[in-house]
Amino acid sequence: MNKKIVIIGGTACGPKSAARARRCDQQAQITIIEQEAELSVATCGLPYYVSGVIESRLELVQRGPDFFKEVMDIDVLTRTRAVAINRKARRVEILNLAKNRTATIEYDKLVLATGSTPLVPDWKGKELKGIFTLSRIEEAQAIRQLVSPRKIDKAVIIGAGLIGLEMAEALVSHGVEVSLVEALDWVLPALFDFEVAAYLAKHLREKGVKLLFGQSVTGFEGDEKGWLSKVVTENTELEADLALLAIGVKPNTGLAEDAGLSIGSTGGIAVNTYLQTSDPDIYAGGDCVENVHLVTGQKILAPLGSTANKHGRVIGTNVTGGNESFPGVVGTSIAKVFDYNVGRVGLSQSQAQQAGYEVITALVPGYEHATYYPNGKDIMVKLVAEKANGRLLGGQVVGPGDTAKRIDVLATALTFGASVDDLANTDLAYAPPYNSALDPLHNAANVIRNKQVGLARALTPLEVAEKIKKNGAFIFLDVRSPAEWEAFRIKAPQTKLLPLRELRTRLDELPRDAEIVIVCHSSVRAYQAQRILDGAGFTNVKFIDGSIAAWPYELSFQRPAAAAE
């Protein structure tokens, strides 16, 4: 008798499960149940549909029901909602939304790919027209109709996560004035540490995005026609014709809970490595399940299309008799934000410390390829490692240059438990158009190795800013050239210019008992200066990680900048 496989959910994990199951078993009866009218919608592309980079909504629909039936012999029930699971009878109760008619469908193996839902707090005025989330193609189309041709002037995005930043770019591209409200203290607070986020925030401000941190929204106000007119926060009121709620998602677990399946501590459906739920004949994958974080071993949510598709392949294999496992994730994310490419993997420094790790870090500015090859673009790398053994814990890469390949290298390294020693000696591709002889990842790994053995000692930009603010008694030694000094510098009364080329001959200008913090453009010269002073017997010398290139605060500009290192 042919196996009956029923799949609830038709976005990413569900269709992938179905396609894989069919390839593994040509006789199985496979049915996908999807409550929306369309199947396999590429929801990750919605911001680009709003911006117009993707012109037609049809480009976001990867496969239709006809394809699944004609090519894959898979039945698809669109505009159909699964309303209950009878585990004892192995039956799913379904509702045809168009006809308001109920029916049942039997299964031997059941797959839950129910996805997630955007968080919408119970704020006053949330029912006003002009307030959106972004999880469905219809929402993206409604926003696009307001901005192209432009019918609105001001938008407020609530939440500075990846969706919020991608949508800021999409709206600005249509000439809309955008304010971004974040309850925490910097952009991408769940992904990036402060220094990296601040580097990105400067770019957002340059693009005209107004950033409001540390403010929680309390409600909305509307006009006499029921349209949004204001977004109200704890501290202010913002005029707005459109508001986007982008504060996160929650897994859709209602069906699973009602059926008595186990829910994990994260709020997602609990699954084993084979993606089976607490009922061995019911599998689950995608946004609705919890995953193992390969760095910490802890359970997390990972609502990404990439993860959902990997889940789908595993599930499709196993519901047809296979024995494939899914080990977990390392928290890889990347996004395009205006002219910057922003990516991260593993743990941030703050997350690692909260997890109980004693960490060592490096903040290294660099270029996407050889500096002498034309048109190179900047990137900045932050590495986080375990202090005791150098095991990599995470990385963040931001800038207009190529960050994606660095994030992918780090994702691979973290997956296999690599250390900074491993990374420093990884045989990455090199030719001037593609990379430097030492990739910025190599440099960052070597900075950590130098710190481990005591050759390098550094303070973060935040630590130096605090010392300056408190008017601390230290020498802020700038070892750049006079031309660079005259062009721009970090504002600090403790600053002293002493170019690196003159340092060895002017050591007597520096008190040997003073604390000295060294700065240059990207820390290369600052580290060299620290070693010179160490060798001359100075005992309290450090440099600033990343130096001016990574400085997230205001600089003092005198005239156009000279070429830096």
* Interatomic CA distance for residues 59 and 38, integer angstroms: 12
Q: What is the mean pLDDT of residues 302-317?
A: 97
pLDDT tops 70 at residue 475: yes
Architecture of domain 131-247: 3-Layer(bba) Sandwich (3.50)
Coil, strand or helix at 407: helix
Mean pLDDT of the chain: 95
| Lookup: tokens for 357 | 């790790």
* Interatomic CA distance for residues 106 and 93, integer angstroms: 9
- CA contacts within 13 A on the Cβ side of 227: 12
* Interatomic CA distance for residues 314 and 273, integer angstroms: 10
Widest distance between CA atoms in the chain = 91
pLDDT at residue 472, rounded to an integer: 83
pLDDT at residue 35, rounded to an integer: 96
- Global pTM reads 0.94
- Express each pLDDT in 243-256 by its tens digit: 999 999 999 999 99
* Interatomic CA distance for residues 367 and 370, integer angstroms: 7
Give counts: helices (H), strands (E), the chain. 16, 32
Rg (CA), the chain: 27
- Express each pLDDT in 263-272 by its tens digit: 999 999 999 9
pLDDT at residue 561, rounded to an integer: 44
DSSP 219-272: EEEE-TTSBEEEEEESS-EEE-SEEEE-S-EEE--HHHHHTT--B-TTSSBP--
pLDDT at residue 150, rounded to an integer: 86
SS (H, E, C) 457-522: CEECHHHHHHHHHCCCCCEEEECCCHHHHHHEEECCCCEEECCHHHHCCCHHHCCCCCCEEEECCC
Q: What is the mean pLDDT of residues 280-305?
A: 97
Who contacts 384 (Cβ-Cβ below 8 Å, separation ≥6)? 346, 347, 348, 349, 352, 359, 360, 361, 392, 393, 394, 395
* Interatomic CA distance for residues 61 and 444, integer angstroms: 41
CATH dotted code for 4-38+61-115+250-318: 3.50.50.60
Domain ranges of the chain: 4-38+61-115+250-318, 131-247, 339-452, 458-557
pLDDT tops 50 at residue 515: yes
pLDDT tops 80 at residue 12: yes
pLDDT tops 80 at residue 109: yes
pLDDT at residue 563, rounded to an integer: 44
pLDDT tops 60 at residue 560: no
Higher per-residue confidence, 434 vs 552: 434
CB 43 within 8 A of CB 135: yes
Hey, which residues are catalytic here? 44
pLDDT at residue 559, rounded to an integer: 52
pLDDT tops 80 at residue 1: no
Check for a shared fold between 4-38+61-115+250-318 and 131-247: yes
Give the confidence band of 565 by pLDDT, cuts at 50, 70, 90.
low
pLDDT at residue 149, rounded to an integer: 86
Bridge partners of residue 276, in order along the sequence: 283
The string over 262-278, giving b where at least 16 C-beta atoms fall within 10 Å of a residue's C-beta and e elsewhere, is ebbebebbbbeebbbbe
Apex CA 515: angle with CA 510 and CA 520, to 5°?
A: 75
Bridge partners of residue 478, in order along the sequence: 497, 519
CB 6 within 8 A of CB 114: no
Position 75: which residue type? D
Coil, strand or helix at 340: strand
Give the confidence band of 81 by pLDDT, cuts at 50, 70, 90.
very high
Four-way CATH pick for 458-557: 3.40.50.620, 3.40.50.2300, 3.90.190.10, 3.40.250.10: 3.40.250.10
Bridge partners of residue 116, in order along the sequence: 251
SS (H, E, C) 83-129: EEEECCCCEEEEEECCCCEEEEEECCEEEECCCEEECCCCCECCCCE
pLDDT at residue 558, rounded to an integer: 62
Place of tokens 């007119």: 229
Give the confidence band of 424 by pLDDT, cuts at 50, 70, 90.
very high
Q: Domain 339-452 belongs to what topology?
A: Enolase-like; domain 1 (3.30.390)
- Express each pLDDT in 354-404 by its tens digit: 999 999 999 999 999 999 999 999 999 999 999 999 999 999 999 999 999
Coil, strand or helix at 2: coil
